[in-house]
Amino acid sequence: MVELRFDVLGIGNAIVDVMAKIEEDFLLRESLVKSSMRLVDTTESERLYRLMPPSIEASGGCAGNTAAGVASFGGRAAFIGKIAEDQLGDIYRHDMRTIGIHFDTPRLVGGDPTARSMILITPDGERTMNTYLGASQELAPADIDPVTVEAAQVTYLEGYLWDRPLAKDAFRKAAAIAHQAGRQVSLTLSDAFCVDRFRDEFIGLIRDGSIDVLFANESELKSLYQTASFESAMAAVRDDGKLAAVTVGADGAYVVSKESVDLVPAFPVETIVDTTGAGDQFAAGFLYGLARGLPAKVAGELGNLAAAEVISHIGPRPAVSLAGLARKSGFPI
């Protein structure tokens, strides 16, 4: 067996977040579905940007955020994602490497610029994302370095990858390599609309054994099993027999397996400033906990801890050391 070098390898869209606070009426005027993610082309991206208030920029992307969270817990993390040879790409690479994330996916040369997501944050802390995929959508099977995948205890994949045929092939390649090496594969459903686009394929991945650990929130899970009832959706995911973590906002998260369903209560947060990255950081804590051999319920607590930290400030990645925070809260890490 290949030497274990990483707790978690994240594979996903490499995206720089462009964040601004807006009022609710901005969403209404623009007919945007609150809390969702939509893809925008160059024209729409430029149009919306012109309307957006002054913004701050920070590296983001679901799997990238999760890798950063794992690193913040003190875990060994790797990332595969496509950036361009431009300033936003430089920023993205810097933000990954300086926290020790292994990240050496070849940069896209001569194509679209590095991806960015215009994240509109309403006063209630909810975020509505408008993503221009740019270079990130050129992620291809050739970018999946087998040595890195084989060296990672868990390979974590974004549902968003399914939006592009090339990235989908990369996803499948990574999952196959991981399993061949005796490693685990994890999927986050990413977004209820994403699930709506690829429901049958996602269910196929779960049932054919491509996925060992599933992440979803309430609306994604209901969309996956095409039911308005959370109870039915929970029963369905339990029947499918994988380890699943289902986040339920302020209530925390359910840790679901064939044997049991446990509600792990959320960590208290004084003021929710920006929910961007909440799911990604939950996944970071949960996967880090599993990788360190902690029981799934304790891993869920680490997930809630990381989510609580990230929603208390603007930006999708931890602002303080999650390892320090976890130790202060008495976790044995």
Binding residues (CB under 8 A) for a copy of itself: these are: 18, 21, 49-59, 68, 86-88, 91, 94-96, 98-99, 113, 315, 317, 319
Tell me the closest approach of the beta carbon of residue 191 to a copy of itself, in angstroms.
Answer: 24
Closer residue to a copy of itself (CB): 77 or 144: 77
Closer residue to a copy of itself (CB): 18 or 213: 18
Contact 19, 56 (CB under 8 A): yes
Tell me the closest approach of the beta carbon of residue 18 to a copy of itself, in angstroms.
Answer: 8
Tell me the closest approach of the beta carbon of residue 102 to a copy of itself, in angstroms.
Answer: 15
Tell me the closest approach of the beta carbon of residue 107 to a copy of itself, in angstroms.
Answer: 14
Sequence letter at residue 95: D
CA dihedral of 95, 169, 157, 311, whole degrees rounded to 10: 60
CA distances, 33 to each of 28, 30, 51, 124, 146 (Å)? 8, 9, 17, 15, 38
Tell me the closest approach of the beta carbon of residue 46 to a copy of itself, in angstroms.
Answer: 10
**Residue 29 neighbours by CB under 8 Å, 6+ apart:** none
Closer residue to a copy of itself (CB): 86 or 169: 86
Closer residue to a copy of itself (CB): 59 or 148: 59
Tell me the closest approach of the beta carbon of residue 143 to a copy of itself, in angstroms.
Answer: 22
Closer residue to a copy of itself (CB): 144 or 314: 314
Closer residue to a copy of itself (CB): 76 or 317: 317
- Output the CA angle 211-163-218, nearest 5 degrees: 55
Closer residue to a copy of itself (CB): 56 or 250: 56
Tell me the closest approach of the beta carbon of residue 72 to a copy of itself, in angstroms.
Answer: 10
Closer residue to a copy of itself (CB): 161 or 306: 306
- Total number of residues shown for the chain: 333
Closer residue to a copy of itself (CB): 297 or 313: 313
Tell me the closest approach of the beta carbon of residue 64 to a copy of itself, in angstroms.
Answer: 11
How many alpha carbons lie under 13 Å from residue 121 in its C-beta half-sphere?
21
Tell me the closest approach of the beta carbon of residue 96 to a copy of itself, in angstroms.
Answer: 8
